Amino acid sequence: QSVLTQPPSVSAAPGQRVTISCSGSSSNIGNKYVSWYQQVPGTAPKLLIYDNNKRPSGIPDRFSGSKSGTSATLDITGLQTGDEADYYCGAWDDSLSAGVFGGGTKLTVL
């Protein structure tokens, strides 16, 4: 059972938009920055979003992040087949004094 809650899977057609949610609490998302990671199976995760809504250089603006209260959201627009991957949210948890991840969401581009 992960501290942060994500839907196990989402799917959409190429060109469409998908939203992945990440729900936490006041000890993590509510008062800390959220980051998002993309992981293609068999490879290391890659940073997509940091500080809730900032993109590292090289990440297309099709990927965007937002946060409201104790929840965060990753939006992906203009879906491409290459976006098929697992997506994870992460944050620091003050109560645990440790980092925490969501359980991951598998994105299928139909």
Binding site for other proteins (CB under 8 A): 2, 33, 35, 37, 39, 44-47, 50-51, 54, 56, 86, 88, 90-92, 96-104
* 81 or 97: CB nearest other proteins: 97
* 76 or 100: CB nearest other proteins: 100
Please give the full DSSP string across 21-53, using - where no structure is assigned: EEE--TTTTTTS-EEEEEE-TTS--EEEEBTTT
Q: How far apart are CA 104 and CA 88, in angstroms?
A: 5
> Smallest distance from the beta carbon of 20 to other proteins, in angstroms?
13
> Smallest distance from the beta carbon of 97 to other proteins, in angstroms?
5
* 14 or 89: CB nearest other proteins: 89
- What is the CB neighbour count within 10 angstroms for residue 9? 12
> Smallest distance from the beta carbon of 51 to other proteins, in angstroms?
7
Q: Which residues of 58-93 are buried (b: 16+ CB within 10 A; e: fewer)?
A: ebeeebbbebeebbbbbebeebeeebebbbbbbbbb
* 63 or 92: CB nearest other proteins: 92
> Smallest distance from the beta carbon of 79 to other proteins, in angstroms?
22
